[in-house]
């Protein structure tokens, strides 16, 4: 009988993390399953090394849970095999791999190296899908606020309200591999390692997380009026942003520095960081 330890985030999907993790009982037939609260683990390396060799680890949760876990174990040596069962809201990692939600868990060790690093105020983290500055950060901030009030609203709908006036674009500059571009009105400034973010928005249609150089794609949506930006965003959601080079810059590189002229919210794989004016992303040097 195969043994499993299921690591779950009790906060995932609005507090239904454990409930969603138990769905595995229908998938893993004739298995011995033990559930562990991921948020209670203080020493990830020690914990991973304590797992018996005959026991498989399955991580459950959404993109934020996956990102935090991968960041915590990224430099760990002799990492055991990790499997993933998506149980979040957006699941953009799953979108990027073209896998169906609620399918069977699958191994993810091959996706846990070569990841880019984001640095904010001297503190660095690895991320899995994307980081975003501006409207995308605002969407995560507003989503958190609405969740705290017990209200459910999709990221796409929040973005539409933002485009209609709740979010105000600001001046910004983006430096990719030493070349700087300045924008008077920057709406969105994400840096993509995968193609998707924001619950299914195909922001980086040509970005390949398995590219051998580990490069990222900087996307700047800029200098467009509110109403046209609304229709532009609808095209971007479907991966058609390349049709609008006047308003969208796609730039591929290994080092990206993004700076706003006022503090705004930043998102890292859907997790919100408030009052940020600058961040840097560096591609991995791993072979």
Q: What is the pLDDT of residues 23-47, one digit of tens each?
A: 888 888 888 999 999 889 988 888 8
Tell whether 261 and 122 lie within a shared domain: yes
Total of domains in the chain: 2
| pLDDT over 90 at 50, yes or no | no
Asked whether residue 287 is assigned to any structural domain, the reply reads no
Tell whether 101 and 176 lie within a shared domain: no
| pLDDT over 70 at 102, yes or no | no
Tell whether 107 and 122 lie within a shared domain: no
Mean pLDDT of the chain: 89
Average pLDDT over residues 111-122: 95
Average pLDDT over residues 158-176: 84
- Cβ atoms of 78 and 49 within 8 Å: the answer is yes
pTM (predicted TM-score): 0.90
Which of 82-91, 148-157, 169-178 is predicted most confidently?
169-178
| pLDDT over 80 at 146, yes or no | no
Which of 97-106, 136-145, 247-256 is predicted most confidently?
247-256
- CATH number for the domain harbouring residue 106: 3.40.50.10330
* Domain range enclosing 255: 117-282
Tell whether 128 and 64 lie within a shared domain: no
State percent of the chain over pLDDT 90. Answer: 51
Q: How far apart are CA 48 and CA 50, in angstroms?
A: 5
Q: How far apart are CA 214 and CA 105, in angstroms?
A: 25
Tell whether 58 and 146 lie within a shared domain: no
Residue ending a domain, among 111, 138, 157, is: 111
- CATH number for the domain harbouring residue 151: 2.60.200.40
State percent of the chain over pLDDT 70. Answer: 98
Strand 191-192, strand 130-133: pairing: antiparallel
Which of 92-101, 113-122, 227-236 is predicted most confidently?
113-122
Average pLDDT over residues 61-86: 89
Q: Which strands, in side-by-side order, build the sheet including 82-86?
A: 32-37, 3-8, 55-61, 82-86, 106-107
Asked whether residue 121 is assigned to any structural domain, the reply reads yes
Tell whether 149 and 176 lie within a shared domain: yes
Tell whether 266 and 174 lie within a shared domain: yes
Tell whether 204 and 265 lie within a shared domain: yes
Tell whether 44 and 139 lie within a shared domain: no
* Tokens read off for 30: 């004739």
Lowest-pLDDT choice from 58-67, 120-129, 159-168, 228-237 = 159-168
- Cβ atoms of 89 and 38 within 8 Å: the answer is no
Residue-wise pLDDT for 207-235, tens only, equals 999 999 999 999 999 999 888 888 888 88
Tell whether 169 and 87 lie within a shared domain: no
> Nearest 10 degrees: CA dihedral of 256, 261, 264, 269?
-10
Residue-wise pLDDT for 250-282, tens only, equals 999 999 999 999 998 899 998 889 999 999 999
Tell whether 67 and 96 lie within a shared domain: yes
Asked whether residue 177 is assigned to any structural domain, the reply reads yes
* Tokens read off for 129: 């899908």
The pLDDT, as a whole number, for residue 223 is 93
Lowest-pLDDT choice from 92-96, 133-137, 191-195, 267-271 = 133-137
Tell whether 142 and 178 lie within a shared domain: yes
């Amino acid at each position: 009988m195969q043994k499993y330890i299921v690591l779950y985030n009790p906060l995932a999907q609005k507090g239904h993390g454990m409930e969603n993790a138990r769905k595995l009982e229908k998938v893993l037939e004739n298995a011995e399953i033990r559930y562990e609260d991921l948020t209670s683990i203080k020493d990830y390396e020690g914990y991973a090394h304590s797992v018996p060799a005959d026991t498989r680890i399955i991580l459950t949760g959404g993109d934020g849970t996956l990102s935090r876990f991968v960041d915590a174990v990224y430099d760990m040596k002799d990492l055991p095999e990790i499997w993933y069962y998506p149980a979040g809201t957006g699941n953009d990692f799953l979108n990027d791999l073209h896998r169906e939600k609620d399918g069977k868990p699958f191994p993810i060790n091959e996706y846990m190296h070569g990841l880019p690093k984001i640095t904010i105020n001297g503190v660095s983290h690895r991320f899995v899908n994307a980081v975003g500055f501006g409207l995308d950060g605002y969407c995560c901030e507003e989503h958190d606020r609405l969740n705290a009030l017990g209200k459910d609203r999709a990221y796409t709908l929040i973005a539409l309200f933002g485009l209609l006036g709740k979010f105000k674009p600001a001046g910004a500059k983006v430096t990719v591999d030493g070349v700087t571009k300045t924008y008077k009105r920057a709406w969105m400034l994400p840096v993509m390692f995968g193609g998707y973010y924001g619950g299914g928005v195909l922001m980086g249609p040509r970005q390949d997380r398995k590219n051998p150089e580990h490069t990222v794609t900087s996307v700047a949506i800029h200098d467009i009026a509110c109403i046209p930006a609304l229709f532009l965003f609808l095209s971007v959601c479907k991966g058609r942003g390349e049709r609008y080079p006047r308003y969208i810059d796609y730039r591929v590189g290994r080092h990206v520095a993004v700076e706003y002229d006022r503090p705004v919210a930043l998102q890292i794989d859907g997790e919100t960081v408030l009052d940020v004016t600058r961040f840097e992303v560096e591609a991995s040097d791993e072979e």
